[in-house]
Amino acid sequence: MNKQDIAIVAVLVVALVGWLFHQNNEAKRARAAYAERMAAAATNEVPASVAQPMPAATEAPSLSAGAQTEAPVAPGQGTAASAAAMTAEAETGVEESIVTLSDEEVGMEISSKGGTILSARLSGYRQSVDKDSPEVVLVSSNAPILALEGVPGFGARSDFSVVSSSGTGVVLRAVSDSGLTLTRTIALQDGYRVAVTDVFANEGEGAFALGANAVSFGEIRRLDANRLNILSVDALSAVRVKDGSLAKVDHWEKKGRVAAILTGRQSSGGCSGAPDASFLPESASMTVDGPQEWVALKSRFFTQVMSSDAKSAGYRITARRAAGQGALKIESVSGALLFDGAAIAPGESLSRSYTLYIGPKKYSVLRHFGPRSGDIMDFGTWKYICIAVLWLLNFLFGFLHNYGLAIIAITILVRVAFWPLTQRSNESMKRMQEIQPLLKEIQAKFKDDPQKLMQEQQAIYRQHKVNPMASCLPMLVQIPFFIAIFFVLRSAVELRFAPFLWIADLSDQENILPGLLPIPINILPLVMAGTMYLQSRLTPSMGDPAQQRMMMLMMPAMMLVMFYTMPSALVLYWSVSQILAIIQLWRRRQGAAGQGTSATAGQVETESMTRQARRLAARGE
């Protein structure tokens, strides 16, 4: 290795150590803040940043091409106004009753104050990797589900009486001073679904004008400090396009619009980094007009979705940032479904039903919620390949009973499936390597005549039956499958806290012996970088040897930096894939050596090509 190579490697190593040190410090601060929040929640002490009144919503600009249907919430109509409407009603002194509903999937607490869902506890999903950790609770009492806004007498603290209840359902009723009666039925269903029916009955003597109103579908919060745990919003518009199908799902995460509610600008990340939160409000809201099939609040592994049989007028999204100064971090996202007003004649009633999904982002369950609800997984362009990979992952788990082994099995199946293509690629690279002397001679001879050079190169390719693109096409064919595996292994809830060997959680980095060093200790990324270097050494090379040596060092170093803090499942897949590639290359070399003459024949052919090129140059052809 020359001095230039050593200098470049040294710079890469210093940059890697510095970046990892910074990432580790950020993770420590995030974990400490999360621990403080959890401790405060456990003692029922609400932090001051939550307890204080929410500031008025900021006016955010149009954020997309269809912005004419989206309107920022004006001051007095956003979070502050909503919170005021919920708490304006004076306490009546009636004691709050809590009704518990449960089935095999979820346990809920229903409050007689507002007839709301205060908490949803998910069976089988714990809060941390510790096996004794309590179960995940998705709903926050600060933003209860089903809280009504804009209906006098039925606010978040209005008194409901429990008419009847069973283990999986409850009926509540409340009567307003105007004679309007609200009967609410809440029932658990299979697949983490909750069926809710509201019946407004006018028992007064005059017509009742029900104004524009909203019903909350809760709040999604960051359950951990993992940098991949991004909060986002999805919505499927009920508007039909020309061919009669529903409009596309609106993914707020991709457009950066959740953060834009607070910042007032479209992008909040990328190379420029997250904006400074010092001068931003702690929370702000935005309203999206138009009927919706459903609206979903999402974290990395969990989601809350709401749909209604009644035509909605749109929805409102409220974003809250983490308290304090520094870079902007979205701490929670809440939402409410909006409805237009209606008149209810004396003795008549108005019925409105909702369906909720409160549970994991598990495709096999989530796809049955509503039209195109499987798109909440956000698999992107290659969603059908992602669905197949996810099915295969769970199918193999059913036999192997370990997701680490299932990932290894998938890697082997992928390698076997693409083995012929890989072999063809390696053979093509070997042939290209053998004709390199001839190509260099031609390049030197016709360096001032590009057109003639191209003709001579094509003639050489035809003569020796070499296709320069043959080594690239097999890799291009495999790219969609690799992307699908990347998306699945990064976001599959099945991998959350799934152990494998020394790895406690395949959905996160290894982080062995935390706190021992300034940076987390991850073994698999080092293995991956080593196998990538070894594969580069075994792969037939073309072009300048100095450049090839440089790439052998730079590519593993770059991949090490990129994958060092990636989920262990991804690094495991890539490492095993590299090991299988090395085995394939080693067997190929062993096979050539076993024939006894292959290497010699190749050298003779290469020397023959070199002599041929020199004769052509000497004749001036």
pLDDT tens, position by position, 418-434: 877 777 776 777 777 77
User: How many Cβ atoms from other residues are within 10 Å of residue 617's Cβ?
Assistant: 13
pLDDT value at residue 358: 93
Cα 185 to Cα 173: distance, rounded to the nearest angstrom: 9
> Is residue 610, in this structure, part of any structural domain at all?
no
Q: C-alpha angle 498/503/507, rounded to 5°?
A: 45
Helices in 43-88 by DSSP H: which ranges? 48-51, 79-87
Cα 231 to Cα 240: distance, rounded to the nearest angstrom: 28
> Is residue 615, in this structure, part of any structural domain at all?
no
> Is residue 24, in this structure, part of any structural domain at all?
no
Q: 33 versus 347: which is more confidently predicted?
A: 347
Q: What is the pLDDT of residues 517-549, one digit of tens each?
A: 777 788 898 998 888 888 777 766 655 566 667
> Is residue 126, in this structure, part of any structural domain at all?
yes
- Split into its structural domains, the chain has a count of 1
Whether residue 360 contacts residue 373, with contact meaning beta carbons closer than 8 Å, is answered with: no
Cα 174 to Cα 158: distance, rounded to the nearest angstrom: 8
Q: Which of 362, 282, 278 is nearest to 325 (CA)?
A: 278
- Whichever domain contains 278, its CATH number is 2.70.98.90
User: DSSP assignment, residue 47?
Assistant: -
pLDDT value at residue 74: 34
Please state, in angstroms and as integers, the Cα–Cα distance from residue 311 to each residue in 208, 307, 340, 341, 376, following that order. Answer: 20, 10, 9, 11, 21
Q: How far apart are the first and last CA of the chain?
A: 39
Q: 366 versus 68: which is more confidently predicted?
A: 366
Q: 335 versus 378: which is more confidently predicted?
A: 335
Long-range contacts of the stretch 547-551 (C-beta < 8 A, 24+): 549/1, 549/5, 550/5, 550/8
> Is residue 508, in this structure, part of any structural domain at all?
no
Q: What is the pLDDT of residues 559-608, one digit of tens each?
A: 888 888 888 998 999 889 888 888 877 776 666 565 554 444 444 444 54
Percentage of the chain beyond pLDDT 90 is: 21
User: How many Cβ atoms from other residues are within 10 Å of residue 378's Cβ?
Assistant: 17
Instruction: Kindly state the helix (H) or strand (E) to which residue 427 belongs, with its residue range.
Output: helix 419-434
**Host domain of residue 226:** 46-378
Specify the residue for token string 């809590």.
98
pTM of the model: 0.76
Cα 63 to Cα 287: distance, rounded to the nearest angstrom: 12
- What tokens were used for 512? 């062995």
> Is residue 580, in this structure, part of any structural domain at all?
no
Count, residues in the chain: 621
Please state, in angstroms and as integers, the Cα–Cα distance from residue 404 to each residue in 139, 396, 495, 527, following that order. Answer: 31, 10, 9, 16
Please state, in angstroms and as integers, the Cα–Cα distance from residue 364 to each residue in 194, 433, 486, 492, following that order. Answer: 17, 48, 19, 11
> Is residue 531, in this structure, part of any structural domain at all?
no
- What tokens were used for 192? 């983490």
Q: Which of 491, 64, 26 is nearest to 250 (CA)?
A: 64
> Is residue 16, in this structure, part of any structural domain at all?
no
Q: Indicate if the pLDDT at residue 79 is higher than 90.
A: no
pLDDT value at residue 18: 64
Give the chain's mean pLDDT: 76
Cα 297 to Cα 143: distance, rounded to the nearest angstrom: 13
